[in-house]
Amino acid sequence: MTDLTANSNQAAAPSAEEVRKRVFAIVAASSGNLVEWFDFYVYAFCAIYFAPSFFPKADPTAQLLNTAGVFAAGFLMRPIGGWVFGTIADRHGRKNSMLISVLMMCFGSLLIACLPTYDSIGNWAPALLLLARLIQGLSVGGEYGTTATYMSEVALRGRRGFFSSFQYVTLIGGQLLAVLVVVILQQLLDEAELKAWGWRIPFVVGAITAVVALFLRRTLHETSSAATRGSKEAGSVAEIFRHHKAAFFTVLGYTAGGSLIFYTFTTYMQKYLVNTAGMSIKTASYVMTGCLFLYMCMQPVFGALSDRIGRRNNMLLFGALGTLATVPILTALRTVSSPELAFVLIAVALAIVSFYTSISGIVKAEMFPAEVRALGVGLAYAIANAAFGGSAEYVALGLKSVGHETVFYWYVTGMMVIAFLVSLRLPRQAKYLHHDH
């Protein structure tokens, strides 16, 4: 089997055939990423339709809270997924880890699509829904670290930032695709049909696309060497805390701020426009769909920029601009009445976030040696993402409910200050990755 990393540091310019192989590897790896995030977000967008099927006929708010609790449980599984799949990737290969994670996501989606309702099997219905969600959370938790590691190892030198940016292109693409499928179903079916059986369709679509991603990923070459996989340090948490503790906490530090601001201006923003700015749900949906599409297109641009100015400078700009702009942007959005102005303000915020998201995978991968790379990246990301990203909406809504919404703006700003200070610790040149072999 070809070891792509071994060839990635050639001094000579890569041939057209080599470039073609690398591009295909990036597409195949990121296809699974798109499927994983599509399946994860479809749950959130369809919850309003399937909540009555799985929870006793209580009031609608209680039903939505129950489905939100199951959504949060998926987030809490991410650190376990980061640990399990990071260990598999470092000990048994990146390819095997990516195949298992997409297979698990396929199973979780298929399970939700086929689940009997509460009326049919009673309390087993919500219990099985929770089980499917835990399987999906485990899968998504494992996906990020392994995909980030694989894409960083397969990317061509001098263009690593550009290539690695496609991880977030597909992540955001998965979100957009989930919205698109739900919007199409809303046009084709009435509300009664969506509540009765229509909500199952997106989960079937997710399972089918996961099978396609599985076949694409089967064609991938392995990027880790037999020597690193066989090392006694491979996939060892003890090894990370013994020799790479500083790298682990650096990644944890800027991922905390990065995840928080990412979820603030993506998933939470639609609710903020409706609840705080007073926009209609439909208008807010249009604004956010446009913003997410633009944000997706920004990733390769900011990734390519990092190849020019350096990853450290990208991260410093992210921390500094995030610190300066968060409070003014959220304050302006609070009273915004024009959808066009809201679009511009959110687009500016997402451009700042792009300094981080476009290169987040590669920056983390460059800090760990090959034998603990997937574990180091995946575990640090999953812990920070579950703690700060997953809680963003709850913290924002909780502060709003007690009349202190503006405290949330300063909370995000404070985390941006930490991201900036942590980014100062980043080496000017990658410590690892360029010199693995």
Q: Which residue has the higher pLDDT, 376 or 41?
A: 376
| Helix intervals (H) in 335-388 | 339-357, 360-365, 373-384
Per the CB < 8 A criterion, the answer to whether 87 and 375 are in contact is yes
Cβ neighbours of residue 254 closer than 8 Å, sequence gap 6 or more: 315, 319, 356, 363, 418, 419, 422, 423
Give the burial class of 187: count Cβ atoms within 10 A of its Cβ; 0-12 exposed, 13-18 middle, 19 or more buried.
Answer: exposed
3-state class percentages of the chain: helix first, strand second, coil last, to nearest 5: 80, 0, 20
Q: Does domain 245-367+391-426 have CATH number 3.40.50.200?
A: no
Q: What is the pLDDT at residue 96?
A: 92
Q: What is the pLDDT at residue 59?
A: 59
Give the burial class of 188: count Cβ atoms within 10 A of its Cβ; 0-12 exposed, 13-18 middle, 19 or more buried.
Answer: exposed
Nearest CA-CA partner of 35 in 171, 217, 179, 200: 171
Domain spans, the chain: 17-221, 245-367+391-426
Q: What is 17-221's CATH superfamily?
A: MFS general substrate transporter like domains (1.20.1250.20)
Cβ neighbours of residue 360 closer than 8 Å, sequence gap 6 or more: 148, 167, 168, 255, 258, 381
Give the tokens for residue 335: 């009273």
pTM (2 d.p.): 0.86
Q: What is the mean pLDDT of residues 306-316?
A: 92
pLDDT at 7 > cutoff 50:
no
Residue type at 268? Y
Give the tokens for residue 377: 């990246």
Cβ neighbours of residue 236 closer than 8 Å, sequence gap 6 or more: 372, 375
Q: How far is CA 80 from the centre of its chain?
A: 16
Most confident of 28-32, 36-40, 211-215, 393-397: 211-215
d(CA 212, CA 214): 5
Tens digits of residue pLDDT in 261-283: 998 998 888 888 888 888 887 88
To the nearest 10 degrees (0 to 180), the angle between helices 373-384 and 245-265 is 40
Topology agreement, domain 17-221 and domain 245-367+391-426? yes
The torsion angle over the Cα atoms of residues 402, 408, 411 and 417, rounded to 10 degrees, is -160
pLDDT at 22 > cutoff 70:
yes
Q: What is the largest CA-CA distance in the chain?
A: 67
